């Protein structure tokens, strides 16, 4: 009996998150409401509030449910190729519909809601940053980067232009732009003989 109940709960949770993303894409985050999600998903709003304390928390979990494992770094021994491949995959996921507009809306909500900001940081930003730093550390340990190279700052320098492009100037993120960022950064980062 408990397996059936747990399976129903998982199905209901999935339906609520899927509905949240569909509505978010259709009407935008600003017009999204718990009531609208509940009505379309065929559940009571109390069912949603038992799992998520706010629209922002529901939206964050729904969007993060799309986070694919292909955002993991390869380690082929070629740091630039690995960075390029992983960042291209992130750009492909985060800059195109349906995820791109939804992610930008989530960033906007995070600016206004400290709980959403903390959750976004804990569940997406920090894990992705840690993967980048780990890949850079492996390259530094193999002598591909200078021994004193600041890994955390490199992570910020790699991601900053992407957020600037997507959020501030609202220009498309392309593979060519990513390649330019990586090549510009790495001109001064490689260990010199």
The pLDDT of residue 66: 77
| Average pLDDT value for residue range 143-167 | 92
In sequence order, which residues have a C-beta less than 8 Å from that of residue 16 and are 6 or more positions away?
Answer: 37, 41, 43, 47, 48, 51, 58, 62
Half-sphere exposure of 136 (CA within 13 A, CB side): 24
Indicate whether this model's pTM tops 0.85: no
The string of pLDDT tens digits covering residues 112-142 is: 999 999 999 998 899 989 999 999 999 999 9
- pLDDT of 70 > 90? The answer is no
Report all structural domains of the chain as residue ranges with CATH numbers, in order of start.
Answer: 2-59 (1.10.10.60), 69-186 (1.10.357.10)
Residue 185 phi/psi, 5° resolution? -65, -40
The string of pLDDT tens digits covering residues 71-105 is: 778 889 999 999 999 999 888 887 778 788 888 88
The pLDDT of residue 69: 44
The pLDDT of residue 102: 87
Task: Provide the β-strand partners of residue 190.
Answer: 145
| 117 or 67, which is more confident | 117
């Amino acid at each position: 009996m408990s397996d059936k109940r747990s399976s129903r709960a998982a199905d209901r949770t999935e339906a609520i998150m899927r509905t949240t993303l569909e509505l978010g894409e259709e009407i935008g985050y600003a017009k999204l409401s718990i009531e609208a999600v509940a009505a379309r998903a065929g559940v009571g709003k109390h069912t949603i509030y038992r799992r998520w304390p706010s629209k922002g928390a529901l939206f964050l979990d729904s969007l993060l449910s799309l986070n694919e494992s292909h955002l993991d770094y390869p380690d082929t021994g070629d740091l630039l190729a690995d960075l390029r491949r992983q960042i291209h995959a992130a750009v492909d996921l985060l800059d195109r519909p349906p995820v791109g507009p939804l992610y930008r809306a989530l960033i906007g909500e995070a600016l206004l809601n400290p709980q959403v900001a903390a959750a976004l940081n804990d569940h997406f930003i920090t894990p992705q940053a840690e993967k980048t730093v780990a890949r850079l550390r492996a390259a530094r340990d193999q002598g591909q980067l200078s021994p004193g190279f600041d890994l955390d700052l490199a992570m910020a320098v790699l991601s900053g232009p992407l957020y600037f492009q997507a959020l501030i100037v609202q220009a498309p993120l392309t593979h060519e732009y990513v390649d330019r960022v990586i090549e510009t950064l790495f001109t001064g980062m490689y260990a010199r003989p």
